[in-house]
């Protein structure tokens, strides 16, 4: 067996309409629409690479919150948002217009990354690749280079 790619991610959310708005209107992800009734309130999103990359399932306002700090479970997921630092600067301006705070910014050598949270607190890395694929394939240690503050 060999994994070919990460196919999709499924997140539990408290309020589907609120999360649908965030992923569709703030992040600009296309929602996959269908006329099939679902057994639970849910919404799917795709960049066009595959049938869906993100599925949101509503669990309601009484769901337990994610515990803060170090814990077992997902830390964050990454979304590629462009090819250059100028595009990343535009992302910062876009997030500011939508009132979404940037929680962190890192230079990972192979990527430049911003960190935000969705309405339920799921951390999201928004990144651009800054090194060509052939460079990090030739020297995989670049992937684990020390993380530096990002200066846009």
Digit-coded pLDDT (tens) for 103-125: 999 999 999 999 999 999 999 99
Using DSSP's 3-state secondary structure scheme, residue 77 falls into strand
Q: Which domains does the chain have, with CATH numbers?
A: 9-58 (3.10.180.10), 76-149 (3.10.180.10)
How far apart, in Å, are the Cα atoms of 104 and each of 3, 127, 151?
Answer: 30, 12, 11
For 29-48, what is the mean pLDDT?
A: 91
Q: Which of 14-18, 32-36, 62-66 has the highest mean pLDDT?
A: 14-18
Residue 150's nearest CA partner among 134, 128, 120 is 128
Answer for the pair 131, 109: CB distance below 8 angstroms, yes or no: yes
Question: pTM, whole model, 2 decimals?
Answer: 0.94
For residues 84 and 128, is the Cβ–Cβ distance under 8 A? yes
User: What is the pLDDT confidence band of residue 38, given thresholds at 50, 70 and 90?
Assistant: confident
């Amino acid at each position: 067996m060999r994994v070919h790619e990460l196919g999709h991610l499924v997140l539990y959310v408290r309020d589907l309409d609120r999360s649908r708005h965030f992923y569709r209107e703030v992040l600009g992800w296309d929602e996959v629409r269908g006329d099939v009734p679902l057994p639970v309130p849910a919404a799917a999103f795709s960049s066009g690479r595959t049938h869906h990359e993100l599925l949101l399932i509503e669990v309601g306002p009484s769901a337990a919150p994610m515990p803060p700090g170090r814990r077992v479970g997902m830390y964050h997921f990454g979304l590629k948002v462009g090819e250059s630092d100028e595009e990343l600067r535009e992302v910062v301006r876009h997030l500011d217009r939508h009132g979404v705070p940037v929680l962190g910014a890192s230079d990972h050598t192979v990527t430049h990354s911003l960190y935000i949270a969705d309405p339920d607190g799921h951390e999201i890395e928004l990144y651009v690749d800054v090194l060509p694929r052939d460079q990090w394939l030739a020297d995989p240690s670049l992937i684990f280079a020390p993380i530096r503050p990002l200066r846009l």
